[in-house]
Amino acid sequence: MIAKPQSIVVAGKRFVLIEETEYHRLCDAEQNEPPIPAFPKPDSRGYVPALEYIDVSIVRDIIQLRRKAGLSQQELADRAGIRQETVSRIESGKHKPSIATVDKLWKVLNKPKSKSNTKRRATSSKSSR
């Protein structure tokens, strides 16, 4: 069983105390994240290869949305119903995902935060009429 971490309040902000080894593990995990790939360079006439650009754009969006959601590759893969290795290969550019795979990832990454907020907004807009 994982022990609940101790917390302290400093200047009105809550902080959680963790072991130094866990802190270093988390820092290492962040450094091991794949870099966001650069867009392809234009050719001598100034044209960018469209298909390459689209591929890189999809990968960049997946990486940025996954990081923004605070998900690891494993968590994203579990929620999307695909293997973690597939997410890793997509993010590293070693694999071009199918439309079905991109759709699964997109649905997880663009899922609304909570349905209760949507219901509250709908209710409050009706009452304001």
Helix (H) or strand (E) holding 57: helix 50-69
* Paired tokens of 95: 């694999």
Contacts of 23 (CB under 8 A, 6+ apart): none
Q: Is 21 part of any domain?
A: yes
- pLDDT (tens digit per residue) in 90-118: 998 888 999 999 999 999 999 876 544 44
CA 32 to chain centre: 14
pTM metric for this prediction: 0.62
Q: Is 19 part of any domain?
A: yes
- At residue 58, does pLDDT exceed 90? yes
User: Domain count of the chain?
Assistant: 1
Q: Is 30 part of any domain?
A: yes
Q: Is 32 part of any domain?
A: yes
* Paired tokens of 7: 């917390």
- pLDDT (tens digit per residue) in 38-50: 889 999 999 999 9
Is residue 49 within 8 Å of 93, Cβ to Cβ? no
Model pLDDT, residue 32: 67
Instruction: Classify the phi-psi angles of 37: left when phi > 0, otherwise alpha if psi is within -120 to 50, otherwise beta.
Output: beta
* Paired tokens of 50: 């469209």
For residue 39, what are the domain limits? 6-114
Q: Is 119 part of any domain?
A: no
Q: Is 72 part of any domain?
A: yes
13 forms bridges with which residues in the sheet? 10
Write the single-letter amino acid at 32: N
14 forms bridges with which residues in the sheet? 9
Can you give the CATH number for the domain in which 14 is found?
A: 1.10.260.40
Q: Is 125 part of any domain?
A: no
Q: Is 79 part of any domain?
A: yes
